[in-house]
Structure formats: structure tokens, C-alpha cells
Amino acid sequence: MESQGSTMSSNGVQADDRASLISVKTVEPSADTLTKLVKRLRTLTLTLLPVEVPLESINDATSRVITPHVISAYMAAAGDLLEALPYALLRARKEFIWDANHNPADYGENLCRATACEVLARRVVHKSAPDRITAVMTSRFMHKEADGDESEKTSALEMAIDSHCTIFLSSSESQDVVNNLWKGQLVQKHNSHHDVDIVPFKGDEFGGIWAHLSPSRLAVPRYQNIFRILIWVFFLFTYSQAVREPLDKVANYEDLDAWEVVMYILALAFSFEDIQKILKLLIFVSWRALGFWNIVSLITDSLLLSAFILRMAGIASGHNENSPLRLRSFQCLSFVAPLIWMKLIPIFDGYKYVGTMQICIARMLQESSAFFGLLALLGLGFLQGLYALDAADGQTDHPYDVVNLLVQALLQSPNYEWFNPSPAGLTLYYLWNVATGVILLNILISLFSSAYDDVVQDAAAEYLAYFADKTVGMIRAPDEFIYPAPLNLIELFLVAPFEYIVSKQTYAKMNKIVMSTIFFIPLALIALFEAELDPSKNKWIKDWLTHPDEGSEDSPECQNPEVDGEDAERGLRITKVPFHELIKVFPDTTQSSEAVIVREIGELKNQIEELKAMILSLQRP
């Protein structure tokens, strides 16, 4: 009877959870209230996992740790803050990761607890009603920091991206929201607090090409990506022509070539775009949102700016083609080439193959930090040792020569003849070659191999997490009016100055007119695609791009098909056994073996109790 009561109680909790998920409204708890919820979830998790368990058993779909009853308990623990529960769980995960990194003795236990919080956040979102998933994923909350200050507003989706939660971001619910953001079915709406709300695009409700002909569609990540690809390919072509200027110009080196003018205008536009993006991330998000490619962009912009300044200085000096400033300018441009070709990777990383390749490269560079740290320490030691041997006779060569010798040895081209007069120097140089060529390089190879294996083993989840980061990153820094480079120069010099002169409504109207004019052709193509050619709306294109049987698995024709034509006249049948009879023998793969055994034992105990009650009733006179 006790087990029956507990079963009824757990079923009641699950029923209440389902009802609350359907009827829940968007709430805005204070940072203090949300912090209390996070602390409660941490306490629950510490009770759930007092010891370390295998990580695979936590993330398993039929986990014996994260059971339906455990999920219901966490949902009940949120009270009226059910919509903030995924955010709070991901915040608790982040704190457990911090604990793991700062307490090596309990690293395994805290890592298990962090994984459990992430899995629970994913399962809670999965149990949400379909019409509430977007609100659960994109509603923004604040919490108390360790120093007592309130954090910046972030959503569960943004926190998962910042914390690299591949389990959470690879769920179908997360990817549905990300894909809707990518396609522009969900758009950001700016409020008066320099914040954004994610709302459905109203043009989908009304239909028609005019409903989609709006400058705001330029902010859609999919169209930003296409525009960026076209402009960057054109920039590469322009750069290739500009660096040929010394060959094509046989005279008159005192002015810029036409291709140089175009290249520097594009470079200026890219520089302003990168600086604006980085500043807004620092102001409205966090420095943690900056990535590897932001650093590459800054280096590229700095080299292009240096080349432009040297070129202008060379023209102003009035020298001929042998001007050293002009030569330095083209030398700076030569260093730009590897970087701008390398930036094709983030430009085309929307494609899975390129995105996965970029993840592998980034992980390898991250793992190589140990190698470069050891290399720097050994390099300083051997540099000082060789320099001391060189100074033993009272005379020294330039330190650049010693550095050059060490670098040559590192690149497998040692110069042993340099140290022939000094046996001690030759011995030290031998040790440097052994340390770098035999030990450190093999350490680097093993680190690269380990990083590659880690990415490849979970390549799908890693790419989905990266794609979510790319999509949200395009709309994360608040910018109500999007002018893609190089047309952002028009906004900067012709439109932006009016922001502090005219009213907010007038400024918005001015931007709309300017953007509708200069972007009319791209906007018309976008509107035509969304209104007429989008596979989600055009039945012919949808049938052409999708499998004819996609989404029809639950139809009666697929479950119990009927034979037609001559085969039916011959008496042939497929559905001799109905579909519902066939699946009765299937195992319950939604629960673990332990859960099935426990359930069957419980049912057996109930039957024994009923049998005992019947026997007792029969024995009574």
C-alpha cells in the first residue's frame, strides 16, 4: 500500500508538472530570488550525487540517475519559477565546473554534478509545451555574482553557448530555436533598456511579398552570412589586384591605384565593423564572448591600417618607386594575405564540413598551449645558456643570431657548424635539438591527436554547439539598424551623426528610408524568397527538397498498409497482424533495465499484497 501511495504521489507530481508547463507564464524574478533557486538546485544535486558516477550513466537516455521521477522533483523544486529552471540549472552547472577546476580532490564528483545539471536542463526543456519552448530558451534573467553584484541579463540559450554546453545545445528543442533565429522566423525586438526580446516575425502571419520587404530582414543571420560571403570574396579579388600594383605600374607611383582605393575602403569598413562588434560585446555581454577570430580580425585590421599609413606617408614624401615607406607598406600587405585567406573558414563555417574542421583546429590550438608554454621556458633557458657561452671570451654576437639558430633547429634545419669552435656550445645545441625535435614535438603530436579524437567522437554535438554560437553571435550585440560592410560607412558618416540631433522616431524613419534605398535589390530578393520560394511555404519546393515519406511514420497507411490492384485480387495482404499487436513484444527502450526491474518488482509486490489480503479474507469466519 505504501508503494501504491508513493506511485500515486509521483504520478500526481508529474501531472502537476505537465499542467504547469502548459499554463506557465513568463516571469521576471529578481536576481536575489533566482540566486536562491540556484542554491536550492545545487543542494538537490549534491544530495542526488554524493559520490562520483560514470558520466555515461548520467547522459544516457535511459539513465538510472536522471529518471523521470528525478526530473519531476527538480521541476517541483522550482515552484513558480518553472520557466527559469533551465537557466538556473545551467547556472548551477557553471558553479559546479568552477568548483571542479578549483578543487582537484573533488574534480570527478563536481564534473558529474555539472553534467547532471546540464542533462536536467535539457530534459526540462523537452517536457515544456511546444508553444513555450522559445520563451523558456530565450527569456533573459539575472543572478547575484559572487561579489554581490547583479549579473548581466542572459538567457538559457546564451548561457549554454558561453559555457559550451554541447549536451544542451545539441537537443532538438535548442536547435529548433537556433534554426528559427538563423532563418529569421524569430527576430530580436529592442526595448528601452538596451536589451532585446526574441519574438516571432510578424511577416509570417500576414504573408505576401510586401510584408517581407523590410530593412530589418538584413539582421537575419542567414542573410548576413550570404552577404558576408559575397563581400569577402570580392575583397579577396580586390586584394589580389592591389598587390600587383608594383608590377602593373611602370610609372607614376605618387598616387593610389584604383584597386588600392577599393581595397582600403573595404578594409576601413571591415575595421569599423569589427571594432563596433567587439565594443558592443564588451559593453553589453562580457569579454568572455570574444573568440579566436575576433583576435585575428584585430590583427588583420591593424596590418591593413599600418599598410595604409605607410602608403600615404610614402606618397607624401614624394619619393619614387624605391621609397622605403612604399616598400614597407607592401610588406605589411604581404603579411595580411594568410590572415584574410584564413578568415574564409569562419565565413563558410555555416557548412558542416568547414565548421567541423574549424572546431578541430580551434581545439588543437587550445591543447597546444601546454606545448608552447614548455617551449617558451626551454627557449629562454637555452637562449641564456648559449648567450653566456658566447660571452665567455669577452665578445658576443648579436642575440638575434642565437635566436635565429634556435628557431632553425626547432624547424628541423639546425646549423651545427656555427658551434664547431665551442664543444660546450655544440653540446648545449645538441640538447636543444633533442628537447625540441624528439620530446616537445612528440608531445605536440600527441596533444593534437587527443584533441582531434575528442572532437571527432562527438563531432555532431560539437558542430551544433558551434552553429548555435555563430547564429546567436550575429544578433547578440544590440544593433537596431544593420548596415553590412562596406555600406556601414554610410551609416557611420552620413546617418549616425543625426542620432543626437533628431528624435528617436525621426532617426528610425531616416534609417528605414536609407536602408530601403541602398539595399533595395537585396531586400527585394529576400522578400521574394521568403514569400514565394521558401521551402516551408512553397509546396513544390518542399516536395522537391524533402523525402516523400518524411513525417508520415504515424499515418495509418504506413502502420497498416492495404494492398491494391492485382495483388489485392490475388488475396495478398501485408497487414495480417495489426501494428499495435506487433509492438506489444517490443522492449521499453525509454527506461533503463534497472527501472524496468524495479517497476516489475513493485507490480509483483502489489500483486502479493492483494493475494495476501484475499487469503486473509477467506480465512476469516
Spans of all domains in the chain: 2-201, 243-347, 365-463
- Which DSSP symbol is given to 495? I
Cell numbers placing 506: 525621426
What is the rounded CA–CA span in Å between residue 246 and residue 1? 93
Whether residue 21 has pLDDT greater than 60: no
Tell me how long the chain is.
621
Whether residue 510 has pLDDT greater than 70: yes
Whether residue 302 has pLDDT greater than 50: yes
Whether residue 103 has pLDDT greater than 50: yes
Q: Give residue for cell 606618397.
A: 315
77-81, 339-343, 452-456, 604-608: segment of lowest average pLDDT: 452-456
584-603 pLDDT tens trace: 888 777 766 777 787 788 88
- Which DSSP symbol is given to 531? I
Q: What is the pLDDT of residue 6?
A: 44
Angle, CA of 74, 109 and 121, to the nearest 5°: 30
Q: What is the pLDDT of residue 535?
A: 59
Mean pLDDT value of segment 3-32: 52
- What's the one-letter identity of residue 514? V
Cell numbers placing 415: 646549423
Find all residues with CB under 8 Å of 219, minimum gap 6, and list them: 187, 188, 475, 479, 482
Q: Is 66 exposed, middle or buried (0-12, 13-18, 19+ CB in 10 A)?
A: buried
pTM of the model: 0.78
92-101, 295-304, 478-487: segment of lowest average pLDDT: 478-487
Cell numbers placing 590: 525509454
Q: What is the pLDDT of residue 393?
A: 64
Q: Give kind and range of the element (H or E) at residue 199.
A: strand 196-200
What's the chain's Rg over C-alpha atoms? Answer: 32
Cis before 486? omega within 30: yes
| Residue whose C-alpha is closest to residue 530's, from 114, 212, 57 | 212
**Read out DSSP for 360-422?**
HHHHHHHHTHHHHHHHHHHHHHHHHHHHHHHGGGS----HHHHHHHHHHHHTT---GGGGTT-
Find all residues with CB under 8 Å of 535, minimum gap 6, and list them: 541, 542, 545, 546
Instruction: Dihedral sign for Cα 299, 304, 305, 307, please.
Output: positive
Instruction: Dihedral sign for Cα 210, 211, 214, 219, please.
Output: negative
Whether residue 8 has pLDDT greater than 50: no
135-139, 145-149, 492-496, 530-534: segment of lowest average pLDDT: 530-534
Q: What is the pLDDT of residue 498?
A: 87
Whether residue 540 has pLDDT greater than 70: no
Per-chain mean pLDDT for the chain: 81
Whether residue 121 has pLDDT greater than 90: yes
Whether residue 60 has pLDDT greater than 70: yes
What is the rounded CA–CA span in Å between residue 89 and residue 72? 14
34-48, 95-109, 260-274, 345-359: segment of lowest average pLDDT: 345-359
Confidence of residue 478 (pLDDT cuts 50, 70, 90): low
Q: Which residue has the higher pLDDT, 456 or 220?
A: 220
Say how many Å lie between the first and final Cα of the chain, rounded: 25
What is the rounded CA–CA span in Å between residue 238 and residue 240? 5
Alpha helical stretches, state H, 491-592 = 504-518, 520-528, 539-545, 556-559, 565-569, 579-582
Mean pLDDT value of segment 604-610: 89
3-class DSSP assignment, residue 340: helix
402-439 pLDDT tens trace: 888 888 888 888 888 887 777 888 888 889 888 888 88
Q: Which residue has the higher pLDDT, 158 or 583?
A: 158
Cell numbers placing 361: 583546429
Contact 401, 484 (CB under 8 A): no
138-156 pLDDT tens trace: 888 888 887 778 888 888 9
372-407 pLDDT tens trace: 888 888 888 988 888 888 777 666 667 778 888 888
- What's the one-letter identity of residue 174? S
Q: Which residue has the higher pLDDT, 193 or 339?
A: 339
Mean pLDDT value of segment 528-532: 80
Whether residue 15 has pLDDT greater than 60: no
Contact 64, 595 (CB under 8 A): yes
Q: Give kind and range of the element (H or E) at residue 86.
A: helix 85-102
Q: What is the pLDDT of residue 96?
A: 93
| Residue whose C-alpha is closest to residue 156's, from 137, 177, 181 | 137
Angle, CA of 435, 441 and 446, to the nearest 5°: 130
Q: Which residue has the higher pLDDT, 16 or 271?
A: 271
Q: What percent of the chain has pLDDT over 70?
A: 85
221-269 pLDDT tens trace: 899 889 889 999 999 999 998 888 766 654 455 677 888 889 999 999 9
